[in-house]
Structure 1
Amino acid sequence: MASSRSAPQPAFVLHQWDWSETSLILDLFTREQGRLAAVAKGAKRPYSQLRPVLMPFQRLLVLTTRPKAASTDEHADILLLRSAEYAGAGAALPPARLFPGFYLNELLMKLLARGDPHPALFDAYADALQALAVAPDEAPLRAFELLLLRETGLLPELSRTTTTQEPVRPGQHYRLSGDSGLVVAADEAARLPGSLCLALQAALDADDRPALRRACQGGLPALRAQLRALLHYHLGAPALRTRQLMLDVRRLLDAPAPPST
């Protein structure tokens, strides 16, 4: 775990847990130190100044320090939150986009180790939240999945096949394999056109997030299926909790009303 900070740093709250009657443990995503665990003492008190600040999807400035007894404490990797303030800027996620936001948070918590800085990914996450606040489709989600996989070294190059190193052809179709990377696809429903692979790789190489979202819009159904399979392969889990909860809510809303009594 990195040393304590001497100045506030940008951060987002990914998740929080009850620690006591008055305090919380936070999973923070910071720009300079990556994911951190920090205890926010007294944050649950009704008049705590931290209470309205420690909300998900709000850009914050946080100051953390290491507890004095960290060398002997069994919770030595948990820092103390000394201060947190709203950093402003950005549109709030509307209620209909909260589930996608929590989905991004869960991906970060499961794919990033604590104390591993990813400043470019931090910026991409902040940008994805802004796009989600105004975008009516899922392109920001697919674009962030691609950036997350690339940043963690799990995304193969999309301009050539992984095993044979043959250049991707615009008229050919491909799929993402957890074992073999990018491979030529057989007759499968969710195939990635070569033209899409090339557009995605060009946007990734240019670090152009708006262009990446535009490229994703050109093949959302196939891209969703391929990235979902690749993420599940590396996560070793059949389903993410936020995705399953979102499906359960949709089924509940689509279910016929119970008979009146």
Structure 2
Amino acid sequence: MASKRFHDEPAYVLHRYDWSESSLILEVFTRHHGRMAIVAKGVKKPTSNFRPILLPLQPLRLSFGGDAEIRNLKAAEWVGGHVMPTGDALLSGYYLNELLMRLLARDDPHTALFDAYGVAVQVLASEHGEALQPALRAFELLLLREIGLLPLLDVQTMTFEPLQPEGRYSLVAEGGLRQSQADDRASLSGAQWLSLQQSLQPGAPFTATLRACAEVLNGLKPQLRAVLHYHCGMATLHTRQLMMDLQAL
């Protein structure tokens, strides 16, 4: 029986592990097959054609095969389109990769999320610093929605009561969207949640969610952080801790 082969699959490298003195195991996010593990044999050799290509945050097309959990890389091509992010944008890209590594099961495709990730990485590489935080919050929302961890943002989760535009509501990991105190800083108004829900409608572009997030950054960030940390099972993600350590220098 012939082993499965995948040709010219759009992909991004999320993480790399040493497998031997000359080879790597790659965790990749593919458009049609989700997160996968691929072994790249001999890629660490100076003569390898794959060595300058298999980098994170770069759009690739990969060909690979095999029936085991870890497939074998056959070919890799850099698609181009943007340069590698640098500085805070680079760390932010690694943060997105860590979220995908922790929250996506292997071999579970999410084509809409893959496309959103591609746009988010382009924003990070664009050197428009004012768009960095909105892009991160937009991707966090889309990730939670795609894996079924984001409740509807136009009703209270436990009661299904519609949100009142002037009311205040908080998103919590264990209870969804619920009414909060007027002075709760980690909350948004009903009108703001409704705007976010509208930006997440099927077919809406990533930029629509980005713009909606840009209007509510201060209140949205701590709520999404708490929800993500809860589902990741840790108080602080490694990339976020690295950001905080660098800022403290």
Normalised by the size of structure 2, how large is the TM-score? 0.94
- Aligned residue for 1:140, secondary structure, equals helix
Question: Given the alignment of the two structures, is residue 136 of structure 1 paired with residue 122 of structure 2, yes or no?
Answer: no
Kept in 1, the 8 Å contact 2:84–2:90? The answer is no
Match of 2:198 in 1: 202
The superposition leaves residues 108-149 of structure 1 with CA deviations (integer Å, 9 ceiling, x where unpaired) of 000000000011100000010111223313000000000000
- Which structure 2 residues correspond to residues 110-125 of structure 1 after superposition, within 5 A? 110-125=102-117
Runs of 4+ in 1 over 3 A off after TM superposition: none
The superposition leaves residues 79-119 of structure 1 with CA deviations (integer Å, 9 ceiling, x where unpaired) of 10111110122343233310000000000000000000011
- Aligned residue for 2:118, secondary structure, equals helix
Counterparts of 1:136 and 1:196, CA distance in 2: 23
Question: Given the alignment of the two structures, is residue 109 of structure 1 paired with residue 106 of structure 2, yes or no?
Answer: no
What runs of 5+ residues in structure 2 fail to find an aligned partner?
A: none
The superposition leaves residues 153-186 of structure 1 with CA deviations (integer Å, 9 ceiling, x where unpaired) of 0001001111111111211111011121100012
What runs of 5+ residues in structure 1 fail to find an aligned partner?
A: 71-75, 253-261
Counterparts of 1:6 and 1:249, CA distance in 2: 40
Paired residue for 1:233, among 230, 233, 237? 230
- Aligned residue for 2:37, secondary structure, equals strand
* Alpha-carbon shift at residue 236 of structure 1 (Å): 1.5
- Which structure 2 residues correspond to residues 161-200 of structure 1 after superposition, within 5 A? 161-186=156-181, 187-200=183-196
Match of 2:71 in 1: 79
Counterparts of 1:64 and 1:175, CA distance in 2: 44
Match of 1:247 in 2: 244
Match of 1:212 in 2: 209
Counterparts of 1:234 and 1:98, CA distance in 2: 24
Match of 1:148 in 2: 143
What amino acid is the match of 1:58? Answer: Q
Kept in 1, the 8 Å contact 2:169–2:180? The answer is yes
Question: Given the alignment of the two structures, is residue 92 of structure 1 paired with residue 88 of structure 2, yes or no?
Answer: no
- Please identify, of 77-86 and 187-196, the stretch whose mean Cα deviation from structure 2 is larger: 187-196
Normalised by the size of structure 1, how large is the TM-score? 0.89
- Aligned residue for 2:26, secondary structure, equals strand
The superposition leaves residues 20-66 of structure 1 with CA deviations (integer Å, 9 ceiling, x where unpaired) of 11000000000011001011000000111000000011100001111
Question: Given the alignment of the two structures, is residue 157 of structure 1 paired with residue 149 of structure 2, yes or no?
Answer: no
Counterparts of 1:227 and 1:39, CA distance in 2: 34
Counterparts of 1:94 and 1:242, CA distance in 2: 15
Match of 1:222 in 2: 219
Counterparts of 2:162 and 2:205, CA distance in 1: 22
Kept in 1, the 8 Å contact 2:29–2:36? The answer is yes
Larger radius of gyration: 1
Paired residue for 1:127, among 115, 119, 122? 119
- Which structure 2 residues correspond to residues 3-18 of structure 1 after superposition, within 5 A? 4-18=4-18
